[in-house]
Structure 1
Amino acid sequence: KCGQYYWSTINAEHCGEPACSGGLTFINNTPAKNKLSYIEVWKEFSSIHKKLGYTPINRYPVVARWNPTMDFTIASIAAFQPFVVSGEVKPPANPLVIPQFCLRFGDIDNVGVTGHFCGFVMMGEHAFVAPKEYDINKYLKDHLTWLNQGMGLNNDDITIHEDAWAGGGNFGPCIEFFSRGLEVSNQVYMQYELPNKELKIKVLDMGQGHERAAWFTQGKPSIYECVFPKVIEKLRKSTGVKYDEEFMTKFVPLSSYLKTDDTPDLDKAYNDVAKKLNMPFETFKNKVQEIAALYSVA
């Protein structure tokens, strides 16, 4: 539908992006066989990767004081930029996995609406090796092992996109893993320093949202209910804002259409989704904003 090239083990009719697949269709219909709580996600992720030869390490600070190019750690790979990625400093383990807390402020307007966060944990798979030791096939296989065994996701339910990713002064080609409208993870094969200098070493940079993994495997309408259940329960008692499961079940699969950076006319997007839900524009918008306010506080 969108012209995106993609790969699938079955004869898939679309690329898996929410705009092409009809929204987030995993809601109340997740293909993941393993239902993981927020806490269980990292335990399973680190356990499986440890068996694959990766060393789990503790997260780095969220203030990137070692990096002169950024104020905050925006991704798990940022913990190792610029000096480990450049080959000047050895990593604390190799390969490794890390539950890195990150801050990103570009999604402030999406928090509470589309399932985005300003502060989140990125689970990273990382390796820093000489070019002759760089094995993309192994890295891809390792990540599929986590998706298959850890999350219980069958390959037939995964659509793969080829793309490129840049961040923290480095870039490389990447593979994005989609399932039922959600980008589950992204594995970057980091090989260059901006603007066009080849790195001395080659780097594996897979990042997956910890919160997103819990949400996807549980298949609940709200990612925030999966991550902050106790906090939100208390906020509901304090504010009187009630959880409308029927509304959330219908709205959340379409919430990606309201992502601000993908939507030039936000009111039109709200109106389009309101029509799909057979709700008046103002009623729908007010309800979404009330819910978003509660989740933003959480």
Structure 2
Amino acid sequence: MSAILEATENTSVRHSAAVRRNWNPARLARVAARFVSVLVCVGIWQVLAEHHVSFGLVTFANVPAPSDVVPAAWALFHSPKLPMHLLSSVMRVLVGFVAASAVGIGLGLAIGRYRAFEDAVLPPLEVLRPIPAVAWIPLAILMFPSSEMSMMFITFIGALFPILLNTIHGVEGVDPRLVATARSLGTRGAALFGEVILPGAAPAIVTGLSIGMGTAWFCLVTAEMIAGQYGIGYFTWESYTLQNYADIVVGMLLIGALGMGSSVLVRRAGLALIPWYRMEASQR
């Protein structure tokens, strides 16, 4: 019984110490500084838009102020269409991201590991990589029988290349001595990938997944320009055509918040699966 009480007390002490480390004065100061920086930017935006400031090439004459955006956001959050907008956009991004993850990681492992595969597959991918998502719209409409699949394809293209390139760099960055040691112990084929190469490249893959998720949201407006009646990107583009300028900013901020939140979620989930990397980082 005393052992149990001692273990419980030790766990409580460690938890309290972790809380103190996470909320020490320096960390609180950084959080406060970041919050203040956001408030300052919003204040500058309010002043520039309210006074219709013009810098010649850039003018704020038609830009809605935060005081106009807040009521528009409140109206959207109470709109019955918001759940459908969110569901449509999340499904398009999620399907495109999952497909891009499977293709990007698979190709990245093969390209990073086998030089012949790199010579055969990487050059055409490098030709396609600089093409912006908006340029894929006509071809996507021709390639797929439904507009929904076309929109998912655009988000797939947006997420694919960050995941692919980070996976390639991660595989190429694996210490050759680890591979040689594993080979000397008889590790070959799938076992070599699963036990040496994939764990070694995992941190770079997680970074690629996080960037790819953000890029998929970045391409959402482009994807939802194709067709549809729902989606945050569609809502943003429709607001522009109807000259509801405050709603444009609301849609932009909502896409930014969703993209940032999902990228952070993907990164934290990925890091939770590679505890050895977190241990190495804590020892630096």
TM-score, normalised via structure 1 length:
0.24
Q: Which has the larger radius of gyration?
A: 2
Which has more strand, going by share of residues? 1
The higher relative CO (CA closer than 8 Å, separation ≥ 6) is in: 1
TM-score, normalised via structure 2 length:
0.25
